[in-house]
Amino acid sequence: MAMSSRSPDATDVTVLGAGAAGVAAAVVAARSGCRVVVIDNGSVPGGQYFRGAATVTSSSVNSQPADLSYAALRIEFDRLVASGAIDYRARWTAYAASINDAEFVIRLRGDDRHRSEIDAVTSTALIVATGAFDRQLPFPGWDLPGVMSGGGAQSLAKGDDVVPGRRVVVAGTGPFLLAVSSTLLDHGASVPAIVEANHPARLMTQTSGLRGGLGKTGELVGYARQLARHRVPYLRRHRVIEAIGAGFLEAVRIARVDRDWRVVEGSERTVECDALAVGFGFVAQTDLAGQLGAAMTLGADGGLVIDVDADLATSVAGLFAAGETTGVGGVEAARVEGLLAGASVADYLGRPPALTSRGLRVVRRDIAMWQGFADALHTTFPVREGWREQVRDDTLVCRCEEVSAGQVREAIDDLGARDTRAVKLFTRAGMGWCQGRVCGSAVDSLCGFGTTQSLGGAATRPLAVPVPLGALANDQMEG
């Protein structure tokens, strides 16, 4: 591909994110001879899933190119970084993405302790592998210290070997609740209850036809055994309806719910605990692709994801996406999508393929298989409308701007807000530090929208993270 006005310091490919997808994509692209820059805000590769797995032992890994396990890819990634083939920028955050003369320009900011440090990377192609974060649904008391996301509890335990409390209730929906509980038990906490809003009895039968999904099902069976050994009650069709405490969490109120998550009256009871880890699936980090004008679509879980074709190309030439950003599917799906994105980007740049055609066929087959598995999970663990009934008018919805559900309802019912943008302007919900990442799904659901346009509007962020004005001014001058 001829690039007449190519910047002298431009690289071939920039990969945003060094989780399973980003690591896999970078390795495959580098194998094809692409010069790769990887940007990640963590201090070690691995993203959320492999957090704390700072050192990978090579003993159990077959380091042949045919071995495409994460462990093998990670070893190769480290080698490629050491040899200079991959320029790995840890602790940098991409805050803005743009296209200039057919090249991608990614603007970077240092971490929070070095946030005035800025830089930029220019490349011919770009892979967005920025992952996802927990989806939250507000309930009374959810801003009490001690209430945290499942992913937060997981990263605290995995990354820092600290548990958020002695007794941690795990709640929300999805198989991730089992993974979080398992990690917490491993790190010495007790789990008084897992509070699952859905009823996943049919999961095994739905997924038994999926060959590779059996590996994942095996993982779930492992969790189930561990939870049984620790006598952790797995309360299906139950929800946490209130977090209680004076200044910090002391107990949760839980209740039985019907199929639509409406509370069964009289079933409420109190469970004492020191922490609550809660999450209702995940929301993809799409904002940098959105800044570049990439088309979005709705994933199987109803959340906003980047629209990609069978090669993981987006609607923008040279822009590819992999992992949770194309549909929440878990770490194995992310890894194989990363492999394909790396191969697609090399093809786009006219480089020789790094994977054999047979290898690529296997990757495509695995992607289809994991997609099927993810679809089955989303069918089993949907968010049901009844969650909104536990939201009182004084329940906080936007944690940043401290906006209540009553204010959001008023914007819709009395002020005539008909999209999330209008709700945001009337109430400030979504206008704070997190830019609607935490409350976006909930506000959209309270409004009853659920469209690409509505979710996309809420997920439009000119700056992915706040940048000091002085740093921005310098950035513009350096152009």
Partner 1 sequence: MSPEIRFTFDGLSMTAGEDQSIAAALIENGILSWRTTRFGDRPRGLFCGIGVCFDCLVTVNGEPNVRACISAVEPADDVRTQVGDGHVE
Using CB under 8 A, list all residues that contact partner 1: 41-43, 48, 111-113, 133-134, 143-149, 151-156, 159-162, 164, 247-248, 399-402, 432-434, 437-438, 466
User: Could you give the CA distance from residue 267 to residue 278 in angstroms, rounded to a whole number?
Assistant: 20
Cβ neighbours of residue 39 closer than 8 Å, sequence gap 6 or more: 14, 15, 16, 17, 18, 89, 92, 93, 94, 106, 108, 121
Nearer to partner 1, 151 or 213 (CB): 151
> Which of residues 49 and 320 has its CB atom nearest to partner 1 in the complex?
49
Output 91 or 237, the one with its CB closest to partner 1.
Answer: 91
| Nearest distance, CB of residue 432 and partner 1, angstroms | 8
Terminal C-alpha separation, the chain:
26
Select from 408, 399, 402, 400 the least CA-distant residue to 445: 408
Could you give the angle at which helices 405-413 and 440-447 cross, rounded to 10 degrees? 40
Q: How far is the CB of 414 from partner 1 (least distance, A)?
A: 21
Give 43: exposed, middle or buried? Use CB within 10 Å, 0-12, 13-18, 19+.
exposed
Give the nearer residue to partner 1 in terms of CB position, either 239 or 437: 437
Minimum distance, C-beta of residue 4 to partner 1, in the bound complex (Å): 39
**233 and 387 in contact (C-beta within 8 Å)?**
no
Residue among 160 and 389 whose Cβ is closer to partner 1: 160
**Least spacing, CB of residue 17 vs partner 1, in Å:** 12
Tokens of 336: 């194989």
Pairing of strands 319-321, 118-128: parallel
DSSP SS3 for 397: strand
* Cα separation, 35 vs 13, whole angstroms: 6
Q: Which is nearer to partner 1, 113 or 358 (CB)?
A: 113
Find the shortest distance in angstroms from Cβ 165 to partner 1.
8
Q: How far is the CB of 287 from partner 1 (least distance, A)?
A: 11
Query: DSSP per residue over 429-458, as a string?
Result: TT-STTTTTTTHHHHHHHHT---HHHHHHH
For partner 1, which is the closer residue by CB, 433 or 473?
433
* 3 state DSSP class of 168: strand
The residue length of the chain stands at 479
Looking at the Cβ atoms of 108 and 148, the one nearer to partner 1 is 148
CB 337 within 8 A of CB 369: no
Residue 71's contacts (CB-CB under 8 Å, 6 or more residues apart) are 56, 60, 61
Smallest distance, Å, CB 77 to partner 1?
20
Looking at the Cβ atoms of 102 and 162, the one nearer to partner 1 is 162
| Degrees, nearest 5: CA angle 309-371-294 | 30
Residue 272 CB, nearest distance to partner 1 (Å)? Answer: 16
